[in-house]
Amino acid sequence: MVKKLVYIIDDKTYEVEVTFKRIKRLYLTFKDNKFIFRVPYFTSEKSLRKMLDKYARKLLKRTNFIPAYGDDYVYIFGEKEILKKGYNQEIIKEELKESLYKYCLKRLREIEVEMNISSPYKLKIKDVKSKFGSNSKATHTIVIALNMVHFAHPIIDSVIYHELAHHFHFDHSKAFYRTLLTYCPNYYKYRKMCIRRIYR
């Protein structure tokens, strides 16, 4: 069951889409310029508006970002590059993928030495939106999201450090973050930049 509401904040009106499900908790996201709820059956509108009052500004701030692509530009490694009119986005994407692979492979090998990892990881670049990177224990492969190509080198490095820290701890425990922060002290700063799409 889906219900539509409107929510006004700072004199701006937003659509609110509420999907009722057989779940225990309320979930709220902001996507495509609307607030999206997944909530348990019989959740009251008052509860929804209370949650919006608490989190709406944070969600809007987090999603107020500069697009990586424009009509005539693209961000590459944190720099705004001007593109010729009528550029082919698919061709650009392949070029970006190749550039990111070359950079990440070089840094992967350097960081493996720095972290005393003796068995080199395979590297893949994938066009995924849900995460910045991943580490597959089964295939000994590091995956870096293609959209990381838009970020400055230290931000990309922070993702590589994160995934290689999983070589020692395959969780997000305190021990994992101790290892990660030993090698990448500015990790939390760079992660915020990834989330907010601050490219440099």
- What would the pLDDT profile of 2-50 be if each residue is shown by its tens digit? 899 999 988 888 899 999 999 989 999 888 788 999 999 999 999 999 9
- Evaluate if residue 66 carries a pLDDT over 90: no
- CA-derived radius of gyration, the chain: 20
Q: How confident is the model at residue 64 (pLDDT cuts 50, 70, 90)?
A: low
Write out pLDDT tens, residues 182-195: 999 999 999 999 98
Contact 121, 164 (CB under 8 A): yes
- pTM for the model stands at 0.71
Please check the confidence at residue 196 and state whether its pLDDT lies above 70. Answer: yes
Output the pLDDT for position 19: 95
Q: How does residue 140 score in pLDDT terms, banded at 50, 70 and 90?
A: very high
Give yes or no for residue 101 having a pLDDT over 90: yes
Whether 65 contacts 147, CB under 8 Å: no
Q: What's the pLDDT score for residue 127?
A: 92
Main-chain dihedrals φ then ψ at residue 184, nearest 5 degrees: -135, 80
Q: Which residues contact 25 (CB under 8 A, 6 or more apart)?
A: 40
What CA–CA distances, in Å, run from 186 to 12, 31, 63, 191?
35, 28, 22, 9
Average per-residue pLDDT in the chain? 92
> Which position has the higher pLDDT, 129 or 53?
53
Q: 3-state SS string over the chain?
A: CEEEEEEEECCEEEEEEEEEECCCCCEEEEECCEEEEEEECCCCHHHHHHHHHHHHHHHHHHCCCCCCECCCEEEECCEEEECCCCCCHHHHHHHHHHHHHHHHHHHHHHHHHHCCCCCCCEEEEECCCCCCEEEECCCCEEEEEHHHHHCCHHHHHHHHHHHHHCCCCCCCCHHHHHHHHHHCCCHHHHHHHHHHCCCC
What pLDDT does 65 receive? 66
Q: What is the mean pLDDT of residues 131-152?
A: 96
Q: Which residues contact 123 (CB under 8 A, 6 or more apart)?
A: 101, 104, 105, 108, 141, 142, 143, 144
Torsion 39-43-46-51 (CA) sign: negative
